[in-house]
Amino acid sequence: MSTANIVTKLPNVGTTIFTVMSALASEKGAVNLGQGFPDFNCDPSLVQAVTNAMQDGLNQYPPMAGVQVLREAIADKVEKLYGHHYDPLTEITVTAGATQGILTSVLCAVHAGDEVIVIEPVYDCYVPAIELAGGIPVFVQMTVDQRGYSIPWDKVKAAVTPKTHMIMVNTPHNPTGTVMKAADVAALADIVRGTDILILSDEVYEHMVYDGAPHESLARHPELAQRTFINSSFGKTYHVTGWKVGFVAAPAAMTAEFRKVHQFNVFTVNTPVQYGLAAYMKDPAPYLDLPAFYQKKRDLFRDGLKNTRFELLPSEGTYFQCVKYGAISDLSEAEFCKWLTTEIGVAAIPVSAFYNTPKESGIVRFCYAKKDETLRLALDRLAKL
C-alpha cells in the first residue's frame, strides 16, 4: 500500500535543540539549565483561583477574544505600567500562549512576498511563522563584544526595502538577556516613521528587567504603539508555562484582523484559567515583585560562575545567562553543550541554534529560572571547569 506524499511547508524545521538537549539531560541525569522553564511551583492561590472558577461552573466556551474581566485586568495593568490605554473590548485578545499570539500576528498581516526583518539570534518560532504566511525573512545579526549584545540599527535601516512589511523585536531578549533602551526605541521609531511598516514586539519577559531599569514596552511610545502587535505571556510572569495563556494588545484595526485569524486557528482559550488569572491579577504584587525575585537568582548564578573559566556576558533581563567558553574548549557550540551535559552534568543551549545559518560565537545559554538548590547543584558541577 503506497503512502500519500506531502510536500513540506517548513523544509528547514526539524527537532528543536531544546528537545534534543532536554532528552540528553534526562538520559545523563544532568541538571537541565537548557530549556527555559521554572522547576518550582506557582503560587497556590493562583491554582485555587482556577479551581474556584471550575467549581463555579465556568467551564464552557468563553468569548472568542477572551473573557471580558481578564481583558479589563490586562488593560488596567498595561495602562498603569506603561501609560497607554488599550480598549479591552477592541484592542486586547487572550491567546493560547505567546507562540500562538506571534503566529497569529504574522498570519493576519504578512502576505506572500512581504519581507519581515528579524534580528538574530532569534527565537525559533519567528521564522516558521513568516514562512507559513508566505513572507520572506530578512536577517540582521546583533553585534556582540565584551559588553554583550546590541542591535545595529544602521543595519536594520539598511535592510528596509519597499517590500518590508514588518519588523520583529524582542525585549527583554531571548536568548541574549539584553533589553532595549530608550535609544533603541528611538532608533526603531526613526526607521518606521513615514512608512506603513508594522512591528511585532515580543515582550513575554516584560517583568524580568533588572538593576532598576524600566521595561521599554512599545506601549509606552504612542508613535510605535499605533503600529505594533504587543505579545506577552502569563506563563512567564506567573511560573505556569504549561498553561499556555498570553495576550496580544494592538490598535483596534489591527486587532480586528488579528481576531479574524485567531478565531480559526484557536478560536478561544481555556475558560477557568482565564477567570482564575483575572482574579489573581487583582493583586499586582506578584508581577511587581518579579524583578527582585529573579535578580536574586541571577546574582546567585553569576556569582557562582565567577569560580569557573566561563566569561559572563550581561544578563539585563529574562531568566537567561549567556557565557563565552573559549577558555575551556574549542568545540562547536552544539558539541560543547553535548559534552557539558554528558561529562559535567549540566545542560545548556548553543546560541548558534538561534541563527538561520548557524553562527559559531563560542557562546552558550543557561536558564536560571530554577530553585536555588538546583542552581547550586549546577554551580558545584560547573566549578570543575
Domain residue ranges of the chain, discontinuous segments joined by +? 17-36+288-382, 45-282
pLDDT in tens, 51-71: 999 999 999 999 999 999 999
DSSP string, 57-109: T--S---TT--HHHHHHHHHHHHHHHS-PPPTTTSEEEESHHHHHHHHHHHHH
Decide if 352 contacts 361 (C-beta within 8 A): yes
Decide if 70 contacts 90 (C-beta within 8 A): no
pLDDT at 15 over 80: no
Residue labelled with grid coordinates 539584553: 178
In angstroms and rounded to an integer, the radius of gyration of the C-alpha atoms of the chain is 21
Q: Report percent pLDDT > 90 for the chain.
A: 92
The DSSP symbol for 342 reads I
Q: What is the mean pLDDT of the chain?
A: 96
pLDDT at 46 over 90: yes
pLDDT in tens, 69-110: 999 999 999 999 999 999 999 999 999 999 999 999 999 999
pLDDT at 189 over 80: yes
> Using N-to-C axis directions, what is the helix angle for 68-82 and 271-280, rounded to 10°?
40
Return d(Cα 302, Cα 379) in angstroms, integer: 10
Return d(Cα 256, Cα 48) in angstroms, integer: 34
Decide if 167 contacts 199 (C-beta within 8 A): yes
pLDDT in tens, 170-180: 999 999 999 99
pLDDT at 3 over 80: no
pLDDT in tens, 253-285: 999 999 999 999 999 999 999 999 999 999 999
Residue labelled with grid coordinates 525559533: 124
Nearest in space to 142 (alpha carbons), one of 176, 186, 168: 176
Please tell me whether residue 315 adopts helix, strand or coil conformation: coil
pLDDT at 40: 96
CATH topology of domain 17-36+288-382: Aspartate Aminotransferase, domain 1 (3.90.1150)
CATH topology of domain 45-282: Aspartate Aminotransferase; domain 2 (3.40.640)
pLDDT at 17: 82
pLDDT at 16: 81
Return d(Cα 102, Cα 87) in angstroms, integer: 20
pLDDT at 356: 93
Please tell me whether residue 22 adopts helix, strand or coil conformation: helix
Decide if 118 contacts 139 (C-beta within 8 A): yes
Residue 154 grid cell:
544602521
Q: What is the 3-state secondary structure (H, E, C) of 129-153?
A: HHHHCCCEEEEEECEEECCEEECCH
Give residue 371's pLDDT band: very low, low, confident or very high (50, 70, 90).
very high
Nearest in space to 236 (alpha carbons), one of 200, 270, 201, 287: 287
- What lies within 8 Å, CB to CB, of 256 at 6+ separation is 90
pLDDT at 199: 98
Return d(Cα 5, Cα 377) in angstroms, integer: 48
- What lies within 8 Å, CB to CB, of 168 at 6+ separation is 116, 117, 118, 119, 122, 126, 199, 200, 202
pLDDT at 169 over 90: yes
Pairing outcome for strands 363-367 and 320-324: antiparallel
Torsion angle in degrees (nearest 10) through CA of 94, 95, 96, 100: 180
- The separation between the first and the last C-alpha atoms of the chain, rounded to the nearest angstrom, is 55
pLDDT at 5: 86
pLDDT at 82: 98
Decide if 194 contacts 339 (C-beta within 8 A): no
DSSP string, 172-200: SPTTT-----HHHHHHHHHHHTTS--EEE
Strand order of the β-sheet with 164-170 is 92-95, 246-249, 228-233, 198-202, 164-170, 115-120, 136-141
pLDDT at 2 over 70: no
Give residue 1's pLDDT band: very low, low, confident or very high (50, 70, 90).
low
